[in-house]
Structure 1
Amino acid sequence: MTDHPVPADLPEAFYHDLGDGRFESTAATAGPWSPKWQHGGPPSALLGRAMEAHEPRAGFHIARVTVELPRPVPVAELQVSVRTVHASRRVELLEGEISSDGGPVMLARAWRMAAGPLDTPALRVGRPAPPLPGPQAPHTMARAHLDGYISAMEWRFEAGAGFDVPGPGAAWARQRIPLVAGAADTALTRALTLADSSWAVAFELDHHHRLVVNTDVTLALHRPPVGAWLCMRSATAASPGGSGLAVGQMHDETGECGQVMQTLLVNER
C-alpha cells in the first residue's frame, strides 16, 4: 500500500456506447501490463451486459459465463455481438464475441436458466469472507501500469496484504466508475468486472521472471451478487511440467455468491 494517488482525470466510465454494438474503450480499461491492452474484467463485463440484453426472458438469470482470451483486447473501439446457440423451456446457451479491427479478441459462452424454487436449500462450499476493511490508500502493483483498471477500482486488502504479497489472499473491491457511461451496472457486470482479477489477488507464481497469464475466466454464480462491494478469496494450484489453476470464491456483504476459475499458462519468457 502506497500513497499513489487516484488519477484526477479518471474517465467517467470504462466504455462509451457508440450504438449498433460498438463501444469506445477509455483509458480506464487498460490492464497492469500495458496501457495499450485492456484488463480482462471490463470487456468480460461488456460481453455479459450484451448477453443479459439479448432476447431476455422473465424469470431467467445468467448462472455461468466462460470467457476465452485468444489474444489481448486493445484499448480501442470494440464490436460486441451475441447469438443464441440453444434455447429450451428452462435453459439457454448463449455465445458472444468481441472483435477489433475485424478479428475476434474475446469469446464467451453463458448458460441462462430459469430461477430455482424458493425452498431450495441455502448451501455454501467455502469459508466466509473477511470483514470489509475501512478506507485504505490506493494499492499498487510492482512493474505494473497503474493508471487504468487498477486505479479505476477501489481495493481493500486485509492488514499487511496487497498485490505484491504472495497469496493465497483475499481482497474486497468495487468500481469507481460505471461500465458504460450513462447506463446502470448490473449484478452480473459488477461480478465480471472483478472476476478476472482473482489470480492477481493471490499471486503465488513468479509472474515477473516467468510468463504467467490466464487464458480464460469462468464465473459461476449460484445467486446474483448484492451491492457494489465484492470480495475475492483466491488461491492457485500448479504442477511441474503442467499449468496453473487459480480458483476463487466470490462474496458480497451478505455471503458467498459464486466461484471463479482461471487456467494459467506458465512458461519461460
Structure 2
Amino acid sequence: MPIFEPLGNQHWRPTALAAGPFAGLQGGAVAGLLTAEVEAQAGSRNWGAAVAASAWFLRPTPMGDLRTELSVMVEGGRVSVVDNTLYVDGDDKPCATVRVTLSRQRAVELPELPDRGSETHDPARFSVRTRKAAHGKPWFMDAMEARQGEDAAWFHLNHPVIEGAGPLSRVLGPADWTHGIARPLENVVADPNPNVTVQLLRPPVGAWIGVRPQTRWLPGTGLGIGSGTLLDTEGEIGRVSMSVVLVPFPKPAPAGS
C-alpha cells in the first residue's frame, strides 16, 4: 500500500502512514511525495537521474486531500532543475516545496582516484527501534522498520511513498530523521526541521537506508543543524543536512488551575 493514494491529475490523499508525531504530516513523507512526482517524469522528459533535493516545510500539512504543482526551472543539456509545490486541495497557500536537481550521466575519463576502501553493513543484526507518535495513532515511522547500529540508524521502508517511487524519494523519508537520531538532549525541547537537503552520490542498493548522523545545537539561540552520511549495505550513497529550530515543550498547568 502506498503512503499517498493517487486521486488523478496531481491530486493525492495521504494515508495514516503519512502522519507526523504531532499534528499534520511528516516532513519526510511530504518531501518524498514531491520528489517522487518529479522522478516519475524524468524518463519521459529525458531529465536523467535525480541527484539532489532540497525541501522547505512552509507550514504544517494537514491530513486531507492535497494537490501539487510542478514547475520546470531549467530543462535540457546535462542538468535540469524542477520545483514541485504542495497545497491543500482548494487552498492557494503552499504547505511545502521541493527543488530537485537531475543530471544525465556521461562517461568522463579521470585520473586514478584514492581508494576509499570497501564498507559493508548488515542492518538485520541490530535491534529493532520502535517509537510511538504523541497522538498514539499510526504515523510515518510505522511505514518502516528501524534498527539502531553502532554509529548509524537503519531504515527499511515497507511502503512506497507512491507507486513507482524513485531512488531519491525513497531516501528522503529516512534522511528526514537525521537531526533526531543524535539529539544532544532528550525530552527537553522539540526540534523540528524547517528544511532538508539530500544529495546522492549513487542510487541505493537494496531496501536498507542508513544514516550516520551529527547534530549540533547552539545554546541561547534556539537554533541547530543536523547532518549525516547516507549509507546502504554496500557503503556511502550521499549526504543529508537540515536546519533545526528548537521549541520548548509547553509547561504543565499548575494543579487546580
Tell me the TM-score range normalised by the shorter chain. 0.7 to 0.9
2:202 equivalent to 1:214:
no
Structure 1 residue 261: Cα displacement: 0.4
Query: So what's the TM-score if we normalise by structure 2?
Result: 0.84
Equivalent residue number for residue 253 of structure 2: none
Question: Between Structure 1 and Structure 2, which shows a larger proportion of helix residues?
Answer: 2
Task: Report how many residues are paired.
Answer: 244
Contact 1:172–1:230 under 8 Å retained in 2 = yes
2:248 equivalent to 1:248:
no
Moved more, 58-67 or 21-30: 58-67
* Structure 2, gaps ≥5 residues long: 250-257
Task: Give me the identity figure in percent.
Answer: 25
1:115 aligns with one of 105, 124, 129: 105
Q: Amino acid of the residue matched to residue 39 of structure 1? A: Q
Structure 1 residue 228: Cα displacement: 0.9
Measured in 2, the distance between the counterparts of 1:115 and 1:66 equals 21
Name the SS for the 2:174 alignment partner. helix
Structure 1 residue 186: Cα displacement: 2.3
Q: Amino acid of the residue matched to residue 225 of structure 1? A: P
* Structure 1, gaps ≥5 residues long: 1-11, 160-168
1:1-269 equivalent positions in 2, closer than 5 A? 12-34=1-23, 37-54=24-41, 56=43, 57-58=45-46, 60-101=48-89, 102=91, 103-117=93-107, 119=109, 131-134=122-125, 136-137=127-128, 139-141=130-132, 143=134, 145=136, 147-158=138-149, 169-180=151-162, 183-206=163-186, 208-242=187-221, 243-269=223-249
Measured in 1, the distance between the counterparts of 2:69 and 2:62 equals 17
Structure 1 residue 55: Cα displacement: 5.5
Name the SS for the 2:125 alignment partner. coil
- Going from structure 1 to structure 2, the CA distance change for 1:124 and 1:238 (only over 3 Å counts) comes to farther
Measured in 1, the distance between the counterparts of 2:30 and 2:133 equals 24
Structure 1 residue 255: Cα displacement: 1.0
Q: Amino acid of the residue matched to residue 202 of structure 1? A: A
Query: What do the CA deviations read for 1:214-239 (whole angstroms, capped 9, x no partner)?
Result: 01000111111121111111110122
TM-align CA RMSD:
2.7
Measured in 1, the distance between the counterparts of 2:87 and 2:116 equals 36
- Going from structure 1 to structure 2, the CA distance change for 1:245 and 1:22 (only over 3 Å counts) comes to same
- Going from structure 1 to structure 2, the CA distance change for 1:114 and 1:55 (only over 3 Å counts) comes to closer
Measured in 1, the distance between the counterparts of 2:114 and 2:51 equals 16
Measured in 1, the distance between the counterparts of 2:114 and 2:165 equals 27
Contact 1:244–1:266 under 8 Å retained in 2 = yes
In our comparison, the structure showing a higher alpha carbon Rg is 2
Structure 1 residue 268: Cα displacement: 3.8
